[in-house]
């Protein structure tokens, strides 16, 4: 395997960053995960737009121009011979003597990796559906920035795993679901309306989420942006998660209680099966 590290392609096993990289010391960086399917990067413009926004919010200079970054992403995918999988990119503020203030002279550091994923296995998991648990929202208010500081997400997802679930849904102080540890959260109501929390309200603006909105619009499905409670989700006909790594993954149980008939529903499965007709 090959990784791109600050201008060079190196063997993945030998790739490293400096011990005083601010990503390592402070979690001072941002990232993106883009799906690779049939060798193509899915929704790349939206991922790059979000990356630029995350960088701007943290006042980190882009390490490369957009055209150059696109070439690096493709080259990393190509060198790893990834046909179906993901490409991961991470930008940190760079290497500097440990001091909280922004360094005056550090250059941002860029790492890109890519790996294959087993499409059949992922599809099988989605067709079976996944379980989620709920956990209190304990993240900072700037979750709209795709920061590499993911400790609450790591702890929540580990808790889910230990409970035999795949994902943890964060729940705000009013009992409403914000999003998953690494996914956006959705339900389908008894009336067949697809519901997800507004993009400007305590969630990451998922690229897959945006693609599902486009898709629902084109297929003339009813879709609504509003918060929903855990209570409403338990009574919903369907629930599902979205992310570049999950596409659309049906949720069949919340905190051990079944959703709908505890099988993946037709809306979620339909969105998943047709996703790549709409996302490019």
Residues near ligand PDD (CB under 6 A) are 33, 153, 179, 182-184, 204, 206-209, 242-245
* Residues paired with residue 248 on neighbouring β-strands, in sequence order: 242
Q: Which is nearer to ligand PDD, 80 or 183 (CB)?
A: 183
Q: Which is nearer to ligand PDD, 44 or 238 (CB)?
A: 44
Q: Which is nearer to ligand PDD, 21 or 137 (CB)?
A: 137
Min dist. Cβ of residue 120 to ligand PDD (A): 20
Q: Which is nearer to ligand PDD, 106 or 176 (CB)?
A: 176
Min dist. Cβ of residue 153 to ligand PDD (A): 6
Q: Name the catalytic one among 131, 146, 157, 237.
A: 146
Quick check: is 146 catalytic? yes
Residue 122 has a CB neighbour count (10 Å cut-off) of 16
Min dist. Cβ of residue 63 to ligand PDD (A): 20
Min dist. Cβ of residue 46 to ligand PDD (A): 8
Min dist. Cβ of residue 185 to ligand PDD (A): 9
Q: Which is nearer to ligand PDD, 92 or 242 (CB)?
A: 242
| Catalytic residue annotation | 146
């Amino acid at each position: 395997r090959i990784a791109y590290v600050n201008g060079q392609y190196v063997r993945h096993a030998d790739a490293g960053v400096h011990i005083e990289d601010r990503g390592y010391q402070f979690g001072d960086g941002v990232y993106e995960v883009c799906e690779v399917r049939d060798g193509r990067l899915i929704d790349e413009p939206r991922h790059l737009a979000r990356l630029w926004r995350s960088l701007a919010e943290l006042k980190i200079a882009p390490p490369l121009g957009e055209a150059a970054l696109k070439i690096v992403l493709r080259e990393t995918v190509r060198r790893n011979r990834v046909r179906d999988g993901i490409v991961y990119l991470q930008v940190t503020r760079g290497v500097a003597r440990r001091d909280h203030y922004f360094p005056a002279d550090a250059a941002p550091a860029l790492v890109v990796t890519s790996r294959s994923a087993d499409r059949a296995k992922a599809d099988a998991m989605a067709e079976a559906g996944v379980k989620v648990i709920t956990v209190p929202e304990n993240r900072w208010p700037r979750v709209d920035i795709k920061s590499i500081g993911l400790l609450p997400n790591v702890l929540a997802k580990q808790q889910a795993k230990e409970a035999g679930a795949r994902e943890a849904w964060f729940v705000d102080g009013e009992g409403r679901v914000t999003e998953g540890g690494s996914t956006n959260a959705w339900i389908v109501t008894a009336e067949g309306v697809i519901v997800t929390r507004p993009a400007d309200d305590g969630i990451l603006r998922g690229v897959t989420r945006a693609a599902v909105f486009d898709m629902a619009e084109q297929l003339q499905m009813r879709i609504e942006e509003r918060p929903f409670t855990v209570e409403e989700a338990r009574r919903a006909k369907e629930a599902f998660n979205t992310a570049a790594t999950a596409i659309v993954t049906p949720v069949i149980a919340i905190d051990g209680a079944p959703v709908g008939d505890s099988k993946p529903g037709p809306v979620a499965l339909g969105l998943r099966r047709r996703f790549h007709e709409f996302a490019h």
